Amino acid sequence: MHRLFVALRPPPPMRVQLVGLMGGGSGLRWQGDEQLHLTLRFIGEVDHHQAEDIAAALGSIHAPPVTFALRGAGLLDRRGVPDTLWAGVTPHDGLRLLAERIGQALRRVGVPIESRAFLPHITVARLSRHAGPIDDILARWSSLASSPVTVAHFGLYESSLGGEGARYEAIARYPLAS
Ligand code: 2AM
C-alpha cells in the first residue's frame, strides 16, 4: 500500500525563511527543509493500481500557476491537544481552485470527495504530548510574512512514517500553466 497526498513545494527562498525561523522549545520536532510542503489534498492508503490511476488522472489537470505568500501561524489540535505548528499562507483563492481541480480529477478515478474544509498551511513542527509551553514560539511565528512566490508545478507524494518523522518522496510532478 502507498500513503499518498498531493502537494506544492514552497520554492527554496521560502523554505530558507521557514527554516531560519525554526528552533527552540522542548518536545517539538522541527521539520527539515526536505519535509516542507503545502498539502492540496490528502489521499491516504491506496494500492499500486490505484496509485497509477491517480498519477495519470492528475496529469489531466489544467490550472494556472499559483501565487501565495507566508502569513502568520497557528496550532492544529487534532486529538484534543495541539500537535502541529503550521505556517499560514495567503491568499487562498488560487490554491483552492487547484485543490478543487485535483478533487475533480481524483473523483473520476474513485477517490471519495473530501468533506473537510480546505485549510492551506505548511507544517513547520510536530509537537509531542510532552511539549513545553510554546507561547514565545507562537508569538515569533505569528508575525511571519513573506513576499509572494509563484509556483508552476505540483506533485504527487508518498509518505513513509518512521521514528525520525515522516519521509516524503515525490512520485510524479505536474506543470501548471495559464
Ligand atoms: P499536516 O501537515 O497538517 O499534518 C502528509 O502526511 C501530509 O498530509 C501532511 O501535510 C498532513 O497534514 C496531511 N495529512 C496527513 N493525514 C491527513 C488527514 N487524515 N487528513 C488531511 N490531511 C492529512
Whether 116 contacts 139, CB under 8 Å: no
Does ligand 1 lie within 6 Å of residue 118's CB atom?
no
Q: For residue 76, which atom of ligand 1 is closest to its CA?
A: 3
Tell me which of 42, 76, 114, 116 to substitute to probe ligand 1's pocket, judged by most ligand atoms within 8 Å of the beta carbon. 42
- Please list the active-site residues: 37, 121
Residue with cell 522541527: 30
CB of 39 shorter than 6 A to ligand 1: yes
Render pLDDT for 25-67 as a digit per residue (tens, 0 to 9): 999 999 999 999 999 999 999 999 999 999 999 999 999 999 9
CATH number at residue 60: 3.90.1140.10
Write the pLDDT tens digit of every residue in 121-175.
Answer: 999 999 998 888 899 999 999 999 999 999 999 999 999 988 778 999 999 999 9
Cell 521557514 sits on residue: 18
- Its domain, for residue 9, covers 2-175
pLDDT of the residue at 161: 87
Predicted complex: ipTM over 0.90:
no
Number of domains the chain contains: 1
The answer to whether the predicted template modeling score (pTM) of the entire model surpasses 0.90 is yes
How many residues appear in the chain?
A: 178
